Amino acid sequence: VSDGVAQLVSSLASIAADFHRRGWVLGTSGNFSAVVSRAPLQLVITPSGADKGALNADQFLVIDELARVVGDNLKKPSDESALHIRIAQECGAGAVMHTHSTWSTMLSGLLFDDGGLRIEGYEMLKGLEGVTTHEHSEWLPILDNSQDMASLADRVSVTLKQHPGAHGFLLRRHGLYTWGASVSQAKRHVEILEFLLETVGRTRLTRSIQ
Ligand SMILES: [Zn+2]
């Protein structure tokens, strides 16, 4: 394992543990990856079924663009590897992060029929790369959930082409995907989008009981 990969793994493991403590990746849910090389495309990614609160460096896997494990590692990569690969290809992302928070799960179910969720007018939007004003309008597409990862990956590609400025998307009653040029940028996007989802959700709830 090169120093570069070891550094990525160390960063992803500590971020995963932090997100686990915040309740965003409970019970082995969620997954995290970073691009190791572009040509050929290789990603380092969390394994399937691992506790994100207690990841060890040797649990991470390197996969190629077809989600095949590189090297003689017998562990299985995340079931959602195909989505990480597609996002790395379509957005040029350097890191991809996926969480299963309460608010992303609730809002993606509640608003699925709208096709997405519009978030605008919030100061915290400026935490998204390239956004310089609270007047920004962010459209977070919602895709139907599926266990067929090949077809879901194709729908992710179509969605990312339709919304080239998107910073993330939701899977229905499942969770959030976001990404960034670097691990730190992707982490920031998770924090910003999870904050905004919780804010939008709590605001709707507060309005409904007033
Ligand atoms: Zn998931």
Q: What percent of the chain has pLDDT over 90?
A: 92
CA distance 12 to 78: 14
User: Phi/psi class of residue 21: alpha, beta or left (left: φ > 0; alpha: ψ in -120 to 50)?
Assistant: alpha
CA distance 142 to 177: 10
Are 73 and 1 in contact by the 8 Å Cβ rule? The answer is no
pLDDT tens profile 119-136: 999 999 999 999 999 999
Distance 98 CA to ligand 1 centre (A): 6
Identify the DSSP state of 67: S
Distance 52 CA to ligand 1 centre (A): 12
Distance 50 CA to ligand 1 centre (A): 12
Distance 114 CA to ligand 1 centre (A): 21
84: which strand partners?
none
Strand ranges, E, within 89-196: 95-99, 116-120, 137-143, 168-171, 175-180
Residue 1 pLDDT > 70: no
Reading the block at residue 97, the tokens are 């992060």
pLDDT band at 79, cuts 50/70/90? confident
Convert 49-63 to b/e letters by CB count within 10 Å (16 or more is b).
ebebeebeeeebbbb
Distance 147 CA to ligand 1 centre (A): 10
Average pLDDT of the segment spanning 61-90: 91
pLDDT band at 104, cuts 50/70/90? very high
Distance 109 CA to ligand 1 centre (A): 14
Reading the block at residue 88, the tokens are 């790395």
Distance 3 CA to ligand 1 centre (A): 29
Distance 210 CA to ligand 1 centre (A): 34
Distance 194 CA to ligand 1 centre (A): 15
170: which strand partners?
142, 176
pTM of the prediction? 0.96
pLDDT tens profile 17-73: 999 999 999 999 999 999 999 999 999 999 999 999 999 999 999 999 999 999 877
pLDDT at 3: 79
Distance 19 CA to ligand 1 centre (A): 14
Strand ranges, E, within the chain: 31-38, 41-45, 61-64, 95-99, 116-120, 137-143, 168-171, 175-180
Distance 77 CA to ligand 1 centre (A): 13
Distance 203 CA to ligand 1 centre (A): 25
Distance 99 CA to ligand 1 centre (A): 7
Average pLDDT of the segment spanning 140-158: 97
User: Which is nearest to 31 in space by CA: 86, 89, 78, 65?
Assistant: 78
Rg (CA), the chain: 16
